[in-house]
Structure 1
Amino acid sequence: MKTLLLTLTALVAVGFINAQSEPWCRCALFVSSSYAEWMVFELPEVNITDCNSHDQCKWHCIRELNEMTNDMDLWSTVSNDTVGQHICQDLYSHFIFFIHNSYVHAYYEMCGGPWEYTGLDSQQMLCCDRGEHKHCISK
């Protein structure tokens, strides 16, 4: 009986491993506050060669995010709005009405692991006032 149970357990484990999907990578932008982190933009998932390809995932994300945001320029125009305006609208849709002097950070995630920092930050600080992208005034 124990042998049968061990054999079934082994077969289930092999089936589970074989049923896992292809390796993948996610890229996203986050805004931080003293109390929370908000994902404000996510690119579509991409395939990578294996779940140990941190550099492959990281560099793919850096390239894609730089292309889509004009090197993390919040005042760059994309689809008739600034990058910052898209972010402010997303935050507003999640009931985050004000952001003041916050940088936007780029992260990547591989195969369901933790989010890891790419080393990219926005060129400017982000300021949002009820969904509107505003110029920041430092104090």
Structure 2
Amino acid sequence: MKNYLLALTALVAVASVSSEEAWCRCGLFVSSPNAEIMVYELPEVDVTSCDNHNQCKNRCIKEFNEMTNDMDLWSTVDGGDTIGQYICQNLYHNFLIFIHNSYVHAYYEMCGGPWEYAGLDSQQMLCCNVGQHEHCISR
């Protein structure tokens, strides 16, 4: 019985410590008829609590705008590649060969909860062909 109480106490202590750690993830997704597909995950942002969704959302929005030049897929970054090229290369390395005429949507996830729409979409549609970012052709 003593071992049982000791184990239960340890479990409660671990649960209370881990429940206090707050974190926030920021990701870019495209929609398909059957799923939302993460096309790129940005660096995690700091939050002070798992109760403040606006803090997570606002910090992700700031990160999306800074790292993607306001969701401009044709904006170039260090090295000369476009934001879209980084996304297309990431998709290709994860065995997603083609994406055509899809807007990229910004989402955030806080403390293991559901991904939530941050209210941002890419300025242009994304088109990837075997890992290469290409201009989209209207249907």
Q: TM-score, normalization: structure 2?
A: 0.88
May I ask how many residue pairs the two structures share in their alignment? 137
Partners of 1:46 and 1:70 lie apart in 2 by 18
Q: In terms of mean alpha carbon deviation, does 88-97 or 53-62 score higher?
A: 88-97
Give unpaired runs (5+ residues) of structure 1.
none
- RMSD across aligned positions (CA): 1.9
- CA deviation profile, 1:34-89 (whole Å, cap 9, x unmatched): 23332222122222111111000000000011011000000000121000011111
Q: Which residue of 1 aligns with 2:136?
A: 136
The CA deviation string for residues 80-130 of structure 1, in whole angstroms up to 9 with x for no partner, is: 100001111111111211111001111101111111110111000001111
CA–CA distance in structure 1, aligned partners of residues 88 and 35 of structure 2: 16
Gap regions ≥5 residues in structure 2: none
Kept after mapping to 2: 8 A contact 1:22/1:47: no
Q: Distance in 2 between matches of 1:104 and 1:78?
A: 17
CA contact (8 A) 2:45 2:60 kept: no
Distance in 1 separating the partners of 2:37 and 2:90: 10
Report the counterpart of residue 24 of structure 1 in structure 2.
23
1:65 is matched with which residue?
Answer: 64
Q: Secondary structure at the match of 1:114?
A: coil
Give the alignment's TM-score, normalised by structure 1: 0.88
Verify the 8 A CA contact 1:25 1:46 in the aligned structure 2.
yes
Higher-Rg structure is 1
- Greater mean alpha carbon deviation, residues 8-17 or residues 127-136: 8-17
